[in-house]
Amino acid sequence: MPDLYDFHPGTTPLLLSIPHAGTAVPEALFDRLSEPAKTLPDTDWHVPRLYDFAQDLGVSVLKANYSRYVIDLNRPPDDESLYPGQATTGLCPEFLFDGTRLYNDDTPLSDDETAERRERYWRPYHAKLAEELARIQSVHGCALLYDAHSIVSRVPRLFEGRLPDVNLGTARGASCAPAIEASIAAIIRSSPFSSAVNGRFVGGYITRHYGNPADGIHAIQMEIAQASYMDEAEGYPYNEAKAATLKPVLREILTTFLAGR
């Protein structure tokens, strides 16, 4: 099995977190998955490829290698709901985004299994994330956190209609300085893509927990509709032509984030 995460240190104040692109699943757990779950449909497919320019910008990159079906790194360790009253997924999901059962039986996960996964997978990722933010802040006097995600563009269980292509979340303005939100919002609104700011996605645990503008840590979440850079079909193929239009927008967002700290 792979390492829990891949990490590449950078030279700028910006850390790129990619918590949901991992596809590793321990064999014993994979054998328990339902047939629809075994293709890992809710993975943030190709997100590292979308941001493959980040290291050239001097950005630190932290990418998880295990599937969100093992544990969701963007959920609180106590599994408190991030969207009370709305359908969502938990720390150790038991359903796919479309409501299909994740496992081939309906036995609930035990508290012991959830606790074991939290210790083995969740805590090391967050320890590294916190360590790198502290290092960046000690060197640069501030730290910038960009939490990169993607999702299939239509998930009726989670939201109505089609998701906008580019979705910026700042915990409704609490996780970064207003000027940072405004400058990035201006980029996505002037791009060829549909967009939303603090719409269905306002930022998950990572954005909300680490973002602390008063302490010099500015965090945003970027959720990309997969139809804007890949084909939402069996095999989840990357679409070079679509991605070629999106990647310059993402590059402008990262450079603007760096310039506006």
Secondary structure (DSSP) of 147-159? EEEEE-S--TTTS
How many helices (H) and strands (E) in the chain?
7, 7
Q: In this structure, which topology does domain 5-259 adopt according to CATH?
A: Aminopeptidase (3.40.630)
> 3-state SS of 158-197?
CCCCCCCCEEEECCCCCCCCHHHHHHHHHHHHHCCCCEEE
Element (H or E) spanning 143, and its range?
strand 143-151
Q: What is the model's pLDDT at position 5?
A: 98
Query: Beta strand 60-64 with 5-8: parallel, antiparallel or unpaired?
Result: antiparallel
Q: What is the model's pLDDT at position 47?
A: 98
Query: Which residues face 120 on adjacent strands?
Result: none
Residue bearing tokens 């941001």 = 51
Q: CA 155 → CA 42, 134, 193, distances in Å?
A: 10, 36, 19
Q: CA 255 → CA 1, 67, 197, distances in Å?
A: 35, 29, 19
Q: What is the pTM of this model?
A: 0.96
pLDDT per residue as tens, the chain (261 positions): 799 999 999 999 999 999 999 999 999 999 999 999 999 999 999 999 999 999 999 999 999 999 999 999 999 999 886 776 666 778 999 999 999 999 999 888 999 999 999 999 999 999 999 999 999 999 999 999 999 999 999 988 888 899 999 999 999 999 999 999 999 999 999 999 999 999 989 999 999 999 999 999 999 999 999 999 999 998 999 999 999 999 999 999 999 999 986
Q: What is the model's pLDDT at position 81?
A: 67
Contacts of 94 (CB under 8 A, 6+ apart): 101, 102, 103, 108, 109
Q: What is the DSSP letter of 15?
A: E
Spatial distance between the Cα atoms of 3 and 140, rounded to a whole number of angstroms:
29
Spatial distance between the Cα atoms of 15 and 12, rounded to a whole number of angstroms:
8
Residue 256 C-beta-side C-alpha neighbours within 13 Å = 17
